[in-house]
Each structure stands twice: as C-alpha cells, then as structure tokens.
Amino acid sequence: MAEKAIVFIDGSWLYKCRGSLFDKLGEENFEIDYAKLPKVICEDVANALDEDISLVRTMYFGTIPSSRSGFNTSKQYSFYDFLERSCGYDTYIHEIDVGNEDSRMSGNSWVEVSMATNLVYYAALPAVMDIAIVIGDYDNLSPALRRVRSLGKRVQLVSVNGANGIPEHTRLGDFPTIYIDEHAADVKLVRERLKRVCKKCGEEEETTWAGSDFFCSNCRGRHRGA
C-alpha cells in the first residue's frame, strides 16, 4: 500500500530562495513549474525509500500586502488562484498591513504558525498522512515537527543548499534532506507553444498560456483599450 504524503510549502521562503535554483542552471531567472514541484519531490522520496508514495495534497502558505500605496495585488491574487485551479494546491494566504510595523513583522510568523498548526492537525488525523514533506525554513517549526514524529508520522525536509543551518543530528526529519536546487532542471517551467481557441471570439492563436481561459491578442487589446 502506498504511503500517503502531504506537501507543506512556505511560499515566502521559496520565493526568496529562487536564486539558488537560477544559480544551479546558470540562468538569471526562470519560472518554477508549481504543478510539477510536489510530484518531483514525492518521486525523489519514493526512490529513496523504495516505496510507493501517494500525494494526498499540497498546501501553500504565503502572505500578501493589503495596504501598500501604488501596489497592485491583483497579480499575486491571480498567482494564488492559479495554484488552486491549475495546480490543485490548497492555499493559505495572510493579508499584511504593510503600514503597520507589528503586522509586517508578524507576516513570516503567521506563515510558520499556520504551517505548524496544519502539520500537527493532519498528523493527528487517522489514516490521512504517513509522511509530511516540508519545503521551507524549518528552524522555527522544530516543535511542530517533533510533535508530528511523536504521533508516528515521518518527516521529509526539503531545503536549498546553505539555507538552513540545523545539523542533521537534531533529527527533525526521518530521512536525509532533499535539496531542491539539485532538482532545478526538473522544476523549471518549460512552456510549450500550442494553438488554442479564444474564449471570446473563437479565433485560433498560438500561445504558451496554459491557464483554463484563453483570450487572443486582439481581444486582450480591445479589453485593455476599453
């Protein structure tokens, strides 16, 4: 029987650590294939354990500024919507009042508290999760990770080389740490050019857009000019 895994992603941490992925491939920038990311990690875990892994769900934790003057949050909301609709993620997003210093400072703390809460919650549920796969900075998650292991669940830590300073002997995880930068080529998004039909006018156009709704360049231009 396959081991059930839930992937927990600290979105803020992953965004900050993208540079390690770029450096690995010698590129200045590229997009991460978020639909592929949890599958690549689960495949690595399955190969290491010589066991079948069933990905139960992927949980993404992040923040978004709610009161930054001149900052348009629509792109970030669209990204989180994309994670849910196109990648099948469960997203947990905290709005931060950037004008409030206490709120700004609590942003990362909120992510850590939310991740810790969900880690322990799913570990306590019977027959839901066998392995918790944690992508992020697990320093402040150590009490939750120890609790998860005390409940009989196993923990797989995922980081980038040099990002987390906790030595392996602290035993926060049950297996050797997976370093995501070593999988940079696997999680790099490669866009295919396909012909798609415009949802509005019905015209066919070649595009790399992989979202559920496609609008051709003419219809997008008319919409912007309206």
pLDDT digits (tens, 9 = 90+) for 96-153: 876 655 544 455 688 999 999 999 999 999 999 999 999 998 888 999 999 999 999 9
Of 88-92, 136-140, 222-226, least confident by mean pLDDT is 222-226
Give residue 57's Cα distance to chain centre.
Answer: 11
pLDDT at position 34 is 93
Q: Measure the CA–CA gap between 64 and 188, rounded to whole angstroms.
A: 24
Nearest to 116 by CA among 181, 39, 172, 164: 172
Nearest to 183 by CA among 20, 56, 35: 20
Band of pLDDT at residue 170, cut at 50, 70 and 90: low
How many CB atoms sit inside 10 A of residue 135's CB?
26
Q: Is the pLDDT of residue 172 over 60?
A: yes
| Local structure of residue 100 (DSSP, 8 states) | S
**72: which residues sit within 8 A by CB, 6+ positions away?**
none
pLDDT at position 210 is 67
pLDDT at position 88 is 94
The packing angle between helices 107-124 and 142-150, to 10°, is: 0
Q: Measure the CA–CA gap between 88 and 112, rounded to whole angstroms.
A: 22
**Strands (DSSP E) along the chain, which ranges?**
3-10, 53-65, 89-96, 131-135, 154-159, 178-179, 194-197, 204-207
Band of pLDDT at residue 223, cut at 50, 70 and 90: confident
| Local structure of residue 199 (DSSP, 8 states) | T
CB 97, CB 67: distance < 8 Å: yes
Average pLDDT over residues 174-187: 90
Q: Measure the CA–CA gap between 166 and 60, rounded to whole angstroms.
A: 23
Band of pLDDT at residue 224, cut at 50, 70 and 90: low
| Local structure of residue 153 (DSSP, 8 states) | -
- Per-residue b or e along 183-194, where b marks 16 or more CB atoms closer than 10 Å to that residue's CB: bbeebbeeeeee
> Which residues of the chain are in CATH 3.40.50.1010 domains?
3-190
Average pLDDT over residues 23-32: 81
Query: What homologous superfamily does CATH list for 3-190?
Result: 5'-nuclease (3.40.50.1010)
